[in-house]
Amino acid sequence: MQEVKIYTAPPSDLSPPVQSESFCVDMVLASDYAELEEKFMALAAENAALKKSEAEFNEYCRHECEDVGDTWVDDFTETPATDAFLAEVRASGVDAAIEHLHKKFGGTGHIGVSVMALEWLAQEIRKGGAA
């Protein structure tokens, strides 16, 4: 696995200069960040597929047990990091829709309610309350 290099710079060397009380600022290259983000997206997609497969297998086992008069106890692997990451991906999509509405219809005065509803949806997704 390729190691991400962390660069350290004084805040005054950044463009534009960053107001910071710390002596130095740790940074990574945008290309390294993009590569990591791509890897996280791939891992999250794989985890989502595994969770779906687990749910399907669980449903199969429940039906098989019921067919023979037995019971099945649901037992799912919890993946809070994957769930949070995927929620942020979905919420970012809603944010992109809001941005599109502002660009396309911003001067018309007819998007306020729609934007408020989408902002609420993005917030709920980030909290884990909306699917």
Split at pLDDT 50, 70, 90, the class of 123 is: very high
Domain-located, residue 128: yes
Record the pTM. Answer: 0.57
Assign 12 to helix, strand or coil. Answer: helix
What per-residue string of b and e applies to 91-114 under the rule 16 or more CB within 10 Å gives b? beebbeebeebeeeeeeeeebeee
Averaged pLDDT of the chain: 84
- Residue 119 domain flag: yes
- Domain of 109? 78-131
Residue 104 resides in a domain: yes
Instruction: Provide the strand spans (E) within the chain.
Output: 7-9, 25-27
What pLDDT does 23 receive?
A: 67
Q: Is residue 44 included in any domain, yes or no?
A: no
pLDDT of residue 95: 94
Evaluate whether residue 89 is within a structural domain: yes
pLDDT tens-digit profile of 56-85? 999 999 888 888 888 888 888 888 888 888
Q: Examine residue 91 and state whether it is found in any structural domain, yes or no.
A: yes
Q: Supply 82's token pair.
A: 């994957």
For residue 1, pLDDT beyond 60: no
Q: What is the pLDDT of residues 110-121, one digit of tens each?
A: 888 899 999 999
- The pLDDT of residue 57 is 92
User: Is position 65 within any domain?
Assistant: no
User: What pLDDT shows up at residue 93?
Assistant: 93
80: nearest Cα among 47, 36, 37, 33: 47
User: Can you name the residues that pair with 26 across neighbouring β-strands?
Assistant: 8
Q: What is the pLDDT of residues 7-31, one digit of tens each?
A: 777 777 776 766 766 666 677 778 8
Q: What is the number of structural domains in the chain?
A: 1
Whole-number pLDDT of residue 21: 66
Q: Is residue 68 part of a domain?
A: no
Closest CA to 130 of 101, 74, 88, 98: 88
